[in-house]
Structure 1
Amino acid sequence: MIELSPDQLPALSPWFASDYPGAKTPAEHALASGAGRWWADRAIDPRALAVACADHLLLRGEPTALAPIALAPFAAHHVQAPARFLPLLGSAFDLLVPWERMAYVHRVPMSPPRPPHGVTVRRLTPADVAALTELAADMAWVHASWGGPTGLAASGHGWAAFQKDRILAVACTYFRGTTFEDIACVTVPEHRRRRLALACVTALCQDIAARGHTPSWTCSRDNRPSRLLAWTAGFRLEHEYVHYLTGQPARRVAGLIA
């Protein structure tokens, strides 16, 4: 595939007709934030389009326009694609794991709970880059869609619970679209069950609503803590879908790369 520059990008509407949560929000975010990358089978009148942001990949168009080797760079990605892409994905990777997902929309406005003594919940600012950088490695995914701590801190789209200069929990717009803003949230393990995530999420939801957008939430069907937090924060189930976790390039694809 050919990587497209910003001035080569096609109009999104024909490619992403659905407007349910998660359908096109990552593509809109990749376009607006500059943190994503775009590929097509050809620069003029493309037949297939790929959009990657963080470790998420959207595929649209005609899969027969692509060879399996074209997808090799997208190992270990979460792929959203129509069912017609499954044979191509199955040929491209040695593993393709379906992942049932649940998409929620914010329906019940909530007031942020009062944080515990000594904890402040506030919007992230550019001065908080160091605090975001100090999050444990397994929590760093929360700022990946903004290109890293600097991007999230400067975005104005994150809220965090602080104890002095340390972040205990953070909620942010992970993908910002023209209709929905999909939320991500993490909490330092030893500070869970203190309603810190709930305080951050509800403050962020008020922010999103003030921008004229709708907060959304997507998570794995098996992620009960995430589903419970979403419900408590006023989200209600909108629809269910499946995305796929890719493994490594299939042996014959890897041989062509080598």
Structure 2
Amino acid sequence: MIELSSRQLAAHTHLLGDCEPGPAALAEHVLSTGNGRALADRADHPRTLALDCAGHVLLRGDPDALGPTDLAPFAHRRVEAPARFLPALDVAFDRVVPSERMVYVRQQAAAAPRPPRGVTIRPLTSSDAPSLVRLPAESAWIHASWGGPSGLCRSGHAWGAFRQGRLLAIACTYFRGGAHEEIAVVAAPGRRHQRLALNCVLALDGDVAARGRTATLTCSRHDRPGRLLAWTAGFRLVREYVHYATGAYVAHGARVPV
């Protein structure tokens, strides 16, 4: 597959179909922010289009247009694709693991709890990048869709809970679509019971609504804390889907016997 410019991508978004609530907003995020990349089987009149951002891939079009090595860039990703792509994915990677996902959309009002004494809930600014860097390594994914800590802090799309300069929780727009903003949340270890993530989500939701969009939140079917957070914040389940975690690329589809 070849990488498309923003202008080329804008000309071929019809291949994506309707951008449903949830991570499908990553296509518009790539187009509007320049984070991530778009790939296609060819520049003119492409038959297959893929959007790749922050470890997530949105794959659409005709799988018969893909050659033996076209899926190689999508190793170790979470791929959302129609079922017709599954045979190609299965041949291309040493493992393809399905994961059930649940998409919640903000529909009801919710009251923000009073934050603990000494905690401030506020938008992140460019000066907060060091606080993001100091989060545990397993939380680094939170800023991946904006190109890193500085990109997220400059975006104006994140709220954090701070105490004495330390970032305790953060909610941010992960994929910014035209109608929906898919949000993501991280709370520092030991802080999840303080409901700081809820404060951040509700503050961020106010910004999303002011921009004329609707906030969405997606989590695993097995993520009970994530589902509870969504419900408490006034989000309601609107759809479910499956994405596929890919393993290592198998050269030319030739699997190594084990």
TM range (shorter): over 0.9
CA gap of 1:19–1:131, structure 2 versus 1, over 3 A, is same
> Where in structure 2 are the equivalents of 1:227-242 lying within 5 Å?
227-242=227-242
Which whole-Å CA distance do the structure 2 matches of 1:170 and 1:152 have between them?
Answer: 11
Task: Give the structure 2 partner of residue 209 of structure 1.
Answer: 209
1:13 CA displacement: 4.4
1:14 CA displacement: 1.5
Task: Give the structure 1 partner of residue 158 of structure 2.
Answer: 158
What percent of counterpart residues are identical? 57
Which whole-Å CA distance do the structure 2 matches of 1:19 and 1:134 have between them?
Answer: 34
Superimposed CA distance per residue, residues 91-131 of structure 1 (whole angstroms, 9 cap, x where no aligned partner): 11010001100001001122322110111000001110111
> Where in structure 2 are the equivalents of 1:170-189 lying within 5 Å?
170-189=170-189
- Is 2:139 the partner of 1:139? yes
1:167 CA displacement: 0.3
1:56 alignment partner AA:
H
Task: Give the structure 1 partner of residue 92 of structure 2.
Answer: 92
Task: Give the structure 1 partner of residue 191 of structure 2.
Answer: 191
Secondary structure, in 3 states, of the residue corresponding to 1:15?
helix
Secondary structure, in 3 states, of the residue corresponding to 1:172?
strand
TM-score by length of 2: 0.95
Which whole-Å CA distance do the structure 2 matches of 1:118 and 1:234 have between them?
Answer: 26
Superimposed CA distance per residue, residues 111-158 of structure 1 (whole angstroms, 9 cap, x where no aligned partner): 322110111000001110111111111001001000100110000000
Secondary structure, in 3 states, of the residue corresponding to 1:151?
helix
CA contact (8 A) 2:23 2:218 kept: no
Secondary structure, in 3 states, of the residue corresponding to 2:14?
coil
Where structure 1 has 5 or more consecutive residues not aligned to the other structure, the ranges are none
- Choose 211-220 or 14-23, whichever is displaced more: 14-23
1:20 CA displacement: 2.2
1:130 alignment partner AA:
P
1:5 CA displacement: 1.8
Which whole-Å CA distance do the structure 2 matches of 1:10 and 1:182 have between them?
Answer: 20
1:165 CA displacement: 1.1
Which whole-Å CA distance do the structure 1 matches of 2:189 and 2:146 have between them?
Answer: 23
CA contact (8 A) 2:41 2:66 kept: yes
Task: Give the structure 2 partner of residue 34 of structure 1.
Answer: 34
Where structure 2 has 5 or more consecutive residues not aligned to the other structure, the ranges are none
Which whole-Å CA distance do the structure 1 matches of 2:183 and 2:127 have between them?
Answer: 22
1:68 CA displacement: 3.5
> Where in structure 2 are the equivalents of 1:54-65 lying within 5 Å?
54-65=54-65
CA contact (8 A) 2:96 2:247 kept: yes
Which whole-Å CA distance do the structure 1 matches of 2:45 and 2:190 have between them?
Answer: 52
Which whole-Å CA distance do the structure 1 matches of 2:63 and 2:171 have between them?
Answer: 36
Which whole-Å CA distance do the structure 2 matches of 1:108 and 1:22 have between them?
Answer: 17
2:104 alignment partner AA:
Y
CA contact (8 A) 1:72 1:253 kept: no
1:190 CA displacement: 1.3
1:164 CA displacement: 1.2
Which whole-Å CA distance do the structure 2 matches of 1:165 and 1:254 have between them?
Answer: 52
Task: Give the structure 2 partner of residue 122 of structure 1.
Answer: 122
TM-score by length of 1: 0.95
CA contact (8 A) 2:16 2:61 kept: no
Which whole-Å CA distance do the structure 1 matches of 2:97 and 2:37 have between them?
Answer: 23
- Choose 21-30 or 31-40, whichever is displaced more: 21-30
1:63 alignment partner AA:
P
Which whole-Å CA distance do the structure 1 matches of 2:19 and 2:54 have between them?
Answer: 21
1:59 alignment partner AA:
L
